[in-house]
Structure 1
Amino acid sequence: MSSSKTVVEYTAKRITYHTSLPFAEIAARLEKEINKPSGGPAVFRALGGSKSKDELESNINVLTNGRDFVYFLEFAHHRWLDTYTGSTGTPQTIVYTFGNPLIAQTMLRHNLAAGLHIPPKLMLLEDGAGNGTKVIYDDPASVIAVVSEPGVAVSEELKHAAERLSAKVEELVKTIIAE
């Protein structure tokens, strides 16, 4: 039995938007845009229970409700950090996982390793000074369209699909922070 290890270094882009709008408002706007009430477990049921491409597309289109993305899950870091530290001072910090399998397949069909960053995530971080909210995410194209092994070029199709995803995430963020 043999094994090998390959290391590929790449540079990612972390994007941060700061808005003076309060955390609760930005969270509510995001949850509306990614259709949180209809997402979550329903997404996983659609992915696991659909019997054909047409049924899967139909089920996902119902969940996205005319938008680009649907809610998958969230993780509130401030809650467990407060418990761990025995304090209540951690700024609200929620990481949302959201996406659209119909968009995801445009990348995964070119490189299954793209699944390391699909579905995308973004973080809402309450400004500790009470001056609004930060929206933080890694640019999808910078973490998806990377070489899988040294000397092998990234497919142009993958690069273009990841750039389209980046544009959609950017549009989502601009929508939720619009004043």
Structure 2
Amino acid sequence: MIDSFTVQHCEHASPRSFEAVVAAFEAELGSVEGGDIIPREVAAATSQADFEARIRAYEGRSGFMRFLTNDHGAWLSRMGVQAKIRSYIIGNPLIAQTMITHDPGVGLNVPIRVQIYQTPSGEVRLAYDLPSSLMSRLHNDDVTGAALKLDAKLRALAVLATGATA
């Protein structure tokens, strides 16, 4: 099956420097980078409540945690290209479960991707695809309702980091 659907792409153009946006964004995130944290907590948890408590310990103030940071600017500099671009995979298993329990197809788009970059003209942007639009192809009201809440959390984080709306 091949499916087509519309995705809403959001970009917050910030008056702040790239470094300031990155610092503000990262300050709001917890971290499970390193690959083995979630599996280790799954194995150690003795109950649902214990698992939830273990996961909450990794949440940042935003309720999100960072799974992966990819500094494209770092590797591009080795290619002779000066660029400021960082991509992140962020999420929270406790947020994901509000959607993925209704449709396993949600797992294709959570955790979510965010990119912070500086344009050639010097403008700093924070970009993401709106989660509810990514989930729209599933045609599931329960998923959509939960994804709309995720949209609001992500939008609030983006505004906090950039000082700008999309």
Consecutive unaligned residues in structure 2, runs of 5 or more: none
**Cross-structure match for 1:145:** 136
Larger RCO (CA within 8 A; separation ≥ 6): 2
In the other structure, the counterpart of 1:150 is none
Q: Are the equivalent residues in 2 in contact too, given 1:16–1:136 (CA < 8 A)?
A: yes
Match of residue 109, structure 2, among 111, 117, 126: 117
Identity between Structure 1 and Structure 2 (%) = 25
Match of 2:68 in 1: 73
Q: Is residue 87 from structure 1 mapped to residue 80 from structure 2 by the alignment?
A: yes
Q: Does 1:20 align with 2:15?
A: yes
Of residues 49, 53, 59, the one that matches 2:54 is 59
For the residue of structure 1 that corresponds to 2:13, the secondary structure is strand
What SS does the corresponding residue of 2:122 show, helix, strand or coil?
coil
- In structure 1, distance between residues paired with 2:140 and 2:120: 42
For 1:71, the aligned partner's letter is R
Aligned position for 1:100: 92
Instruction: Please state whether the residue corresponding to 2:4 is helix, strand or coil.
Output: coil
CA distance in structure 2 between the partners assigned to 1:49 and 1:137 by the alignment: 33
Q: Please give the secondary structure, in 2, of the residue aligned with 1:15.
A: strand
Tell me the TM-score normalised to structure 2 length.
0.88
Residue 8 of structure 1: CA displacement?
1.3
- 1:40 — aligned with what? 33
The DSSP-based 3-state class of the residue aligned with 1:63 is coil
In 1, Cα distance between equivalents of 2:38 and 2:18: 26
Q: Aligned in 2, Cα 1:24/1:47: closer, same or farther, shift over 3 Å?
A: farther
Structure of greater Rg = 1
SS at match of 1:125: strand
Correspondence for 1:134: 125
Cα deviations across residues 99-155 of structure 1 (Å, max 9, x unaligned)? 111110011001111111100110000132234x100100000112313xxxxxx12
SS of equivalent to 2:96: helix
> What TM-score do you get using the length of structure 1 for normalisation?
0.82
Distance 1:15 1:117 in 2: 16
Greater mean alpha carbon deviation, residues 39-48 or residues 101-110 = 39-48
Residues 9, 127 of structure 2: 8 Å contact kept: yes
Tell me, in whole angstroms, the C-alpha distance in 1 between the residues paired with 2:22 and 2:39: 22
The code of the aligned residue for 2:80 comes to S
